[in-house]
Structure 1
Amino acid sequence: MKTVLITGASSGMGYQTAKLLAKSGFQVFGAARNITPMDSLKDLGVTPIKMDVTSQASMQVGVNQIIQKAGKIDVLINGAGYGSFGAIENVSIEEAKRQFDVNVFGLVALTKLVLPLMEKQHSGEIINISSMAGRFSSPLAGWYFASKHTVETLSDSLRMEVKRFGIKVVLIEPGVVKSNWSKIAMKKLVDSSMGTKYEQAAKEMEKKNNQLYASKLASQPALIAKTIKKTIEDKHPRPRYLIGFGAKPTIFFNAILPTRLMDLIVPKFM
């Protein structure tokens, strides 16, 4: 029975992944700042762990709790993260730093705590929840997209570094998936744009995104959960899994079309 640690497990993709893996016989520890939403998962065997990925002490305490109970961590799923949208001109440096603290530095800090355990057992898997946003760019979302580009680059480097220790590193790159993520990102966008030259563009982007994420086109979080389960069970998982509505065509066209053409196309759909 593999022991799995999932951050961001209180909602969305993280919650569905914890639920599916627990039902499939894995020993699951679900980590989040607010663990109350995970009460419903306890009957399935999920152990909630209170953890803030921006606090080194909090992460160390959480990892220690898992080691005391399970003695190992076979799989780390770095799912904690949020979207902070807004024009680069408008977003404060403090908010930009927080975006990276949660989406990048928290991910890396927890990985650094878990890696020695995996190296000792000469096996393990690090699954980083990135986004199709890590493969192209968009207006009014630069800091979020930059954080996911960084996760992509760091994951590629880490994969090559730890292969010698029997550790796999996998990137999950979702497209449009139903969750509260969009609501948070759009609120950040509107708040940062209020009273500025970007206010109207921000409202238009909010309307488009809210409609898309509420539509039948948006993929269900369970799709991501099933893909993550597949990567854990596969002896030779792919380095990347581009899944969910819009992900594959967006990245395909970004790869083949000239930059100037993408600069015209992307704003029409974001």
Structure 2
Amino acid sequence: MTTKVALVTGASSGIGESTALKLKELGCTVYGAARRVDRMQHLTKSDIRILAMDVTDDASMQAGIDKIIAEEGRIDVLVNNAGYGSYGAVEDVPIEEARAQFEVNVFGAVRLIQLALPHMRAQRSGTIVNITSMGGKIHTPLGAWYHGTKFALEAISDCLRMEVQPFGIDVVVIEPGGIKTEWAGIAADKLRQTSGHGLYAAQANAMAQSMIGDASVKRQSPPQIIADTIAKAVTASKPKTRYAIGFGAKPMIFMRGILSDRAFDGMMRTATGISKALKGQKV
């Protein structure tokens, strides 16, 4: 069987790093991409080829795909993992930051898909893996822009799946729950910077603490569980369209499906400590 060639974005840490190593372990030729090449140098010891790539820079993405095709002549797996969480009250988040969130989490992923698809169509095979989140199915306080990107990528994946099925290409959505990565710390810091002072401070500080508090951190799943799931999807003859995996993913998505909007809102305010923080506060 032809060795599969895979591109994994956001490979400098967390889910991307674990996925690159897992796919290499399965025998794939793996290209790991990220902005900070210095953080990926250790991957070369596992014979993973590293690419400097910024998913907000079209020339950077084009150069990466061109390099893979020039060296391998094909691309079989694209794992769109690059992304971050921008939290803050809708009223507080600068529109420039909102656009940046969509540029990284949505437009970067879709542009790479556009660049990879002609080669996959020519092969009449390929697997596109989009890492969304359970946040693509549920909502959490002060996460409007982040959830907006994940809901968008879920919808785009569904439409894309139907478009490319006649060409033998699979589209798979991975919906991680709570995972032990840098994501929560970065999101909590951004939340405090954006809304940690002013009218939304009580909510923001409670939400930030719930993201990085011991109770949450202890229950998070290791990124390897996502890497194993991606490996399962790309090696299956007929992969599932979606995999909800990691701490809280399946139960939270289930609860969102059975509760009314307001009941789910109340559950999230209680779970994140926001209800307690707002008690007795005049707004």
Tell me the TM-score normalized by structure 1.
0.98
Identity %: 47
When residues 81 and 148 of structure 1 are mapped into structure 2, their CA distance, relative to the original with a 3 A threshold, is same
The counterpart of 2:185, out of the listed 183, 190, 193, is 183
1:203 and 2:236 matched: no
Q: Quote the residue 2:228 is aligned against.
A: 226
Of residues 133, 150, 153 in structure 2, which corresponds to 1:151?
153
Alignment check: 8 A CA contact 1:182 1:213 kept: no
Alignment of 1:29-108 (within 5 A): 29-108=31-110
Cα offsets for 1:199-231 (capped at 9, x unmatched):
121111111110258633100000000000000
Unaligned runs of 5+ in 1: none
Equivalent pair of 1:7/1:14 in contact (CA under 8 Å): yes
How far the C-alpha of 1:142 sits from its partner, in A, is: 0.4
Q: Deviations over 1:218-256 (max 9, x none)?
A: 000000000000001100000000000001110101101
Q: Secondary structure, in 3 states, of the residue corresponding to 1:224?
A: helix
Match of 2:143 in 1: 141
- For residues 144 and 261 of structure 1, the distance between their equivalents in structure 2, rounded to whole angstroms, comes to 22
Partner SS for 1:139: coil
- Cα contact 1:29–1:46 (8 A) shared by 2: yes
CA distance in 1, matches of 2:266, 2:185: 25
Match of 2:251 among 233, 249, 252: 249
The alignment partner of 1:158 has SS state of helix
For 1:196 and 1:76, how far apart are their aligned partners in 2? 42
Tell me which residue corresponds to 1:16.
Answer: 18
Supply the AA of the counterpart residue of 1:183.
G
- Deviation, 1:35, is 1.4
1:260 alignment partner AA = R
**Which residue number corresponds to residue 161 of structure 1?**
163
Residue deviations 1:135-170 (CA, integer Å, cap 9, x gap) = 011221100001000000000000000000000000
Instruction: Find the residue that maps to 1:215 and give its secondary structure.
Output: helix
Distance 2:207 2:129 in 1: 30
Q: Deviations over 1:97-141 (max 9, x none)?
A: 000000000100110000000001100000000000000112211
Distance 1:58 1:10 in 2: 16
Inter-partner Cα distance in structure 2 for 1:138 and 1:15? 27
CA radius of gyration, larger in: 2
Per-residue Cα deviation, 1:162-187 (whole angstroms, up to 9, x for no partner): 00000000000000000001111111
Q: Helix, strand or coil for the counterpart of 1:170?
A: strand
TM-superposed CA distance for 1:83, in Å, is: 0.3
Among residues 259, 263, 266, which one is paired with 2:265 in the alignment? 263
Shift of 1:21: 1.2
What SS does the aligned partner of 1:216 have? helix
Partner Cα separation in structure 1 for residue 206 and residue 262 of structure 2: 22
1:114 aligned residue (110, 116, 136):
116
Query: Is the Cα–Cα contact under 8 Å of residues 30 and 46 in structure 1 kept in the other structure?
Result: yes
> Secondary structure of 2:219's match?
coil
> Using a 3 Å threshold, how does the CA distance of structure 1 residues 131 and 119 change in structure 2: closer, same or farther?
same
Stretches of structure 2 that go unaligned for 5 or more consecutive residues are 273-283
RMSD of equivalent CA atoms? 1.1
